[in-house]
Chains A and B, each alone.
Chain A
């Protein structure tokens, strides 16, 4: 099965993944979050007690399903390869940066597209930053940026993250050790089995289509190749239709309930950092989970960086707040970026530049 050899198949993969996101939103996931990788890793970090923000703690079966879906399909189609050794600690830092940028903006590139499809103007503003970030990463690649080679490792090496995900799933089903939000976004979720199946399907299709939100724009800039962008357009189209039909489409800024803010500069800079770091790491947060599932220990380390980044965001007040309605006065309370978040984000962007221009490819 090959989903990446024609634009039609790629668009189909995007549509299937969009339908999965729609189903999960209908059955209980926060509507405009549906399948946000950054939000769900943040929730999982909370469930594991890595941070104490009580409203965002839940072991999201979607994340477990994504990794396992990619693992199973890559094993079945002989694409599983246990590899590692390509600057793992730099990738760890890039994972942290991806998460900090995402939580300043309030969403990963996947959620940015979901928010765009729901009419959120802030997400369209952030897209400017994302494209500029991917463009900066692409420029670094043209100048010879590389994190070096990965090497084939023992077959079991690449199975560690999938095994850990199974462990978290077992803990969430058979014990009460994991934290689970009673209110807020963490408390909103589809039934476990549905989320898991959704994750498995999404993971399998993302693996076969090479779906990558940073890669889609990167390939257009570097190669004038629109293949990966086709998947994203397919997903966007499905979500747009769903939002229009279900009445979730609200065009504007400062929309309460969306979990977004309208600090434009910081929306742009947040997604700039995410786009930049994702290109340096070889893929967006979704792609990192998929690559980790198909055996890359380097991507697994990036995923661990994202978990730590999420914990830092909530332990040190880096995450932004979303615009909401005061339940008593019915007044609009504008979402905001914290001072700590702004400082951290500037540091993240500086670190991206240092990484981008100090790691050069050795001649082949």
Chain B
């Protein structure tokens, strides 16, 4: 699974990295972010692009697995 570590990055970098990782690929991607609003933005982006996202809290941030 591809992993994108966007922890601690300012907006909109986490979303840009997510978009890049999902581009032209059906592979599952794990996105790591720090802020709750970034988690929500990534989840929404996945949903808007027809992908399923499952989030869990981990350490100081969140893990979002996009399938």
Residues on A lying within 8 angstroms of B by beta carbon are 2, 4-5, 78-79, 81, 83, 85-86, 141-142, 146-152, 210, 215, 218-219, 222-223, 281-283, 298, 361, 364
Contact = CB atoms under 8 A, between A and B. Distances in A.
Given A5-B40, A141-B16, A222-B16, A81 B35 contact: yes
A218 B12 contact: yes
B23 to A, nearest CB: 13
A282 B10 contact: yes
Contacts of A141: 12-13, 16
B17 interface: yes
A85 to B, nearest CB: 8
| Residue with the highest number of chain A CB atoms closer than 10 Å, among B8, B10, B34, B44 | B10
Contact of A149 (B8, B19, B37, B45): B8
Contacts of A282: 10-11
Interface string B19-32: 10000000000000
B52 interface: no
17 contacts: A4-B40, A5-B40, A5-B44, A79-B37, A81-B34, A81-B60, A85-B8, A141-B13, A148-B8, A150-B8, A152-B60, A210-B37, A215-B11, A215-B12, A223-B19, A282-B11, A364-B17
A142 to B, nearest CB: 8
B36 interface: yes
B36 A79 contact: yes
Contacts of B4: 364
A151 B10 CA distance: 11
Top 4 nearest A-B pairs (CB, nearest first) are: A149-B8, A282-B10, A150-B8, A364-B5
A4 B15 CA distance: 15
Contacts of A142: 16
Given A79-B36, A149-B7, A152-B34, A223 B13 contact: no
Contacts of B15: 223
Contacts of B8: 83, 85-86, 148-151
A146 B16 CA distance: 12
A364 B2 CA distance: 11
A218 B13 CA distance: 12
A108 B67 CA distance: 41
A150 B15 CA distance: 16
A115 B10 CA distance: 29
B48 to A, nearest CB: 8
A182 B8 CA distance: 45
A3 B25 CA distance: 31
A361 B35 CA distance: 19
Given A83-B34, A141-B13, 9 more contacts: A81-B35, A83-B8, A149-B8, A149-B9, A151-B8, A282-B11, A283-B11, A361-B13, A364-B5
Contacts of A147: 10
Nearest to B37: A210
Nearest to A150: B8
Contacts of B19: 223
Contacts of A2: 40
Nearest to B21: A364
A88 to B, nearest CB: 12
Contacts of A81: 34-35, 60
A93 to B, nearest CB: 15
Given A2-B40, A4-B40, A364-B17, A223 B12 contact: yes
B37 A4 contact: yes
B35 to A, nearest CB: 7
A298 B7 CA distance: 15
A210 to B, nearest CB: 6
B6 to A, nearest CB: 7
Contacts of A146: 9-10, 13
B45 to A, nearest CB: 8
A119 to B, nearest CB: 32
Nearest to B13: A146
B37 A364 contact: no
